[in-house]
């Protein structure tokens, strides 16, 4: 499936994007291991989150839904999972395979996790290395999936100084630490999203955070929770940029998660001159939530502060589009993590920008983008959902139509993207 997007247009009205993917994953994982029934609304019914649901069903957990964003999980307790009869297929979900590595390393049974062609290329050494230090035994194909995890191993606590800021690595170690003897702690080189810490507390598990060190004591229990999952700021980001770059736009995004470890995209866009108003701030299930009103504005290129990079790591593809539409030059550095996402997002975006006539210079850890007129053209997505959605938004400022190839993966994080964007004013259609 591909997107055909006609140039021009503006965005208006109110939209609510799908629920937060990070929180949806963690709701299933913690709900499955809790005592009692967890009920959540706002659950993301995307393919990535559904892979996590299926994995726990394969391990004997009863899960009803998701249906219209509602899901119910009958927890089996910390030691109630059963051996799956087959390989666990994580599809395209790096979050699923990395976080589950920590949980499965502590189970009594053997397990194997694999994924699609894209996932099988992604490095897993960043989670298997600390897990091995805890006593886990995990075999892989030169550090890539499939992962073969040996059960029946007693894990010991460690202190892990993370070499790279990664919420997935941090979460993996902490989840393994639930089962480890003693106190497990992680030091972050820079702040990353803290959904795991917040949600563990929401499920009744004590987590301490002091400066850059996050720690927990193994051997506790989780208690079922009731949650309303906020809209995913990573999905909202496409509309924040769209309304910023399209003249005459005035769009409100409802019930957006405003976790301070995730809101870097708002800070960066504001530094570029975006007109974003934060309304109706509130707290839902321990997470800050707000409505965001965004109006068109003239953006200016900036040097992106490095301390904001981990706080916007998933939003850089669409931020590259903002940079392409800005006056002047935008420079990103310190973003090596983008090289090991669903695709090499620096290289993937650079190729597409070049095809659309945007001057850019690729660096090992970032990119320099000079804003200018976008042409129409045909771009590839490299099986990456965020690349597909980003180039769709680019058509708002292009002088010709943009054809975005291979868009099936958009459903991993944003089912119904094209329909929602079309309703807001993007001139997009799906072509099989």
> Which residues form the catalytic set?
314
- List the end-to-end C-alpha distance of the chain, in Å, as a whole number: 4
């Amino acid at each position: 499936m591909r997107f055909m997007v006609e140039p021009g247009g503006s965005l208006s009205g109110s939209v609510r994007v799908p629920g937060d993917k990070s929180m949806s994953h963690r709701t299933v994982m913690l709900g499955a291991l809790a005592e009692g029934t967890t009920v959540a609304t706002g659950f993301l019914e995307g393919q990535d989150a559904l892979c996590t649901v299926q994995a726990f069903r394969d391990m004997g957990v009863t899960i009803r839904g998701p249906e219209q964003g509602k899901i119910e999980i009958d927890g089996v307790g910390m030691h109630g999972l059963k051996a799956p009869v087959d390989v666990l297929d994580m599809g395209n979900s790096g979050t699923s395979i990395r976080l589950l590595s920590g949980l499965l390393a502590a189970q009594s049974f053997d397990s194997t996790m694999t994924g699609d062609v894209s996932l099988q290329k992604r490095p897993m050494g960043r989670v298997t290395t600390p897990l091995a230090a805890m006593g886990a035994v995990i075999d892989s194909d030169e550090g890539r999936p499939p992962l073969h995890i040996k059960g029946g191993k007693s894990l010991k606590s460690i202190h892990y100084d993370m070499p790279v800021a990664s919420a997935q690595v941090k979460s993996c170690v902490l989840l393994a630490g639930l089962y480890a003897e003693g106190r497990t702690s992680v030091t972050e080189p820079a702040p990353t999203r803290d959904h795991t810490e917040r949600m563990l507390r929401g499920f009744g598990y004590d987590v301490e955070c002091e400066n850059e060190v996050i720690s927990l004591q193994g051997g506790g229990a989780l208690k079922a929770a009731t949650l309303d999952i906020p809209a995913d700021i990573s999905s909202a980001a496409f509309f924040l940029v769209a309304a910023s770059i399209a003249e005459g736009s005035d769009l409100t995004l409802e019930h957006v998660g405003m976790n301070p470890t995730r809101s870097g995209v708002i800070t960066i866009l504001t530094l570029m001159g975006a007109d974003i108003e934060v309304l109706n701030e509130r707290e839902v299930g321990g997470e800050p939530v707000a409505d965001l009103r965004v109006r068109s504005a003239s953006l200016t290129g900036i040097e992106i502060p490095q301390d904001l990079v981990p706080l916007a790591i998933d939003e850089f593809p669409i931020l590259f589009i903002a940079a392409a539409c800005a006056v002047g030059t935008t420079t990103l550095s310190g973003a090596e993590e983008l090289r090991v996402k669903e695709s090499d997002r620096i290289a993937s975006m650079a190729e597409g920008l070049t095809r659309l006539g945007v001057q850019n210079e690729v660096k090992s850890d970032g990119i320099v983008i000079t804003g200018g007129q976008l042409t129409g053209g045909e771009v590839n997505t490299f099986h990456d959902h965020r690349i597909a959605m980003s180039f769709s938004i680019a058509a708002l400022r292009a002088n010709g139509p943009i054809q975005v190839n291979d868009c099936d993966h958009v459903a991993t994080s944003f089912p119904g993207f094209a329909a929602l964007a079309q309703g807001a004013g993007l001139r997009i259609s799906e072509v099989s």
